[in-house]
Amino acid sequence: MIGSCHKHAWISAISFITTVAILAATSGWGIVLACASGMLGPVLAWNVDWVLTKRAYRKDLNHFTAFRVKAFASKMVFFGIYVTGMLSLLQLSTMPFVIGFTSSFIAVFITEAYMLKRLVDNNIKVT
């Protein structure tokens, strides 16, 4: 049976591939590359973060909040480096990249908020 972390990674990968396929069918390759590059960062960051979050939650609940703060700060540094690198080094089209990044970022963090709520709610024991 596929574990919960792996299941979510597969779902996000399939969603990413489907979106890129739709873009490829309707747009030029320059737009597809820029938009897909923008979407890739938040999706990868979320997948890594979610695996580490579940491990941290199971391992030591007392330090979970501190872990989440460090994870948030790490993601912000990663995103700054990622966006700067993609736009300056790869010289991607700015607007499709920003649209792909922003839409993926919002979708990923809404999903993360929902998943964190489910993780915490399912482990609360009523005494």
CA 104 – CA 99 distance, rounded (Å): 8
**What pLDDT shows up at residue 2?**
43
pLDDT (tens digit, 0 to 9) for every residue of the chain, 127 residues total?
345 556 667 777 777 788 778 877 888 888 888 888 999 999 999 989 988 998 998 888 888 899 999 999 999 999 999 999 999 988 888 999 999 899 899 988 898 888 888 888 877 554 4
**What pLDDT shows up at residue 124?**
59
Residues 6+ apart with CB under 8 A from 38: 86, 92, 96, 97, 98, 99, 100, 101, 102, 104
Q: How does pLDDT run across 43-72, given as a tens digit for each residue?
A: 999 989 988 998 998 888 888 899 999 999
**What pLDDT shows up at residue 1?**
34
The neighbour count for residue 91, using CB atoms within 10 Å, is 9
Candidates 12, 37, 14; CA nearest to 111 is 12
**What pLDDT shows up at residue 79?**
95
**What pLDDT shows up at residue 58?**
87
